[in-house]
Amino acid sequence: MRPSGSTDLEACPVSDDLLKRLLDATLNAVTDVGQQLPEQQRAALAVYCYRRAHFRRLGLSLASLCSQQALVMEAGHAGDLIHRQASSVSTEGDAISRTAKSGKPPVSLYVV
């Protein structure tokens, strides 16, 4: 499938103010703001951010909110790879959030 998304790699698909808000936001706020964008714009922003090393984490967060089809439409094979990576990062993030700060799994007081 040929990508039909942006061909201009330098132009940000959202305003500078919105990009700054997203960069300053927590992960939950990124989800809230990202959900307000149309899916194609969200996919374009995810690809735009992913292509910049200093925005890559934001790009993966936004990509996790996109369908695989939207990312592939935006960036072709690269969109598919971004979708896979975003899916694996969110799975790892869930596992990490369940571990204690010391890196050990949480302790249960349940008596067997």
Domain ranges of the chain: 16-97
pTM: predicted TM-score of the whole model, two decimal places: 0.69
The span from the CA of 86 to the CA of 64, in Å, is: 5
Share of the chain above pLDDT 90, in %: 43
Q: With bands split at pLDDT 50, 70 and 90, how would you rate the model's confidence at 77?
A: very high
For residue 81, give the nearest of 112, 59, 109 by alpha carbon: 59
Q: With bands split at pLDDT 50, 70 and 90, how would you rate the model's confidence at 111?
A: low
Tell me: the pLDDT tens digits for 19-67? Answer: 888 888 877 788 888 899 999 999 999 999 999 888 899 999 999 999 9
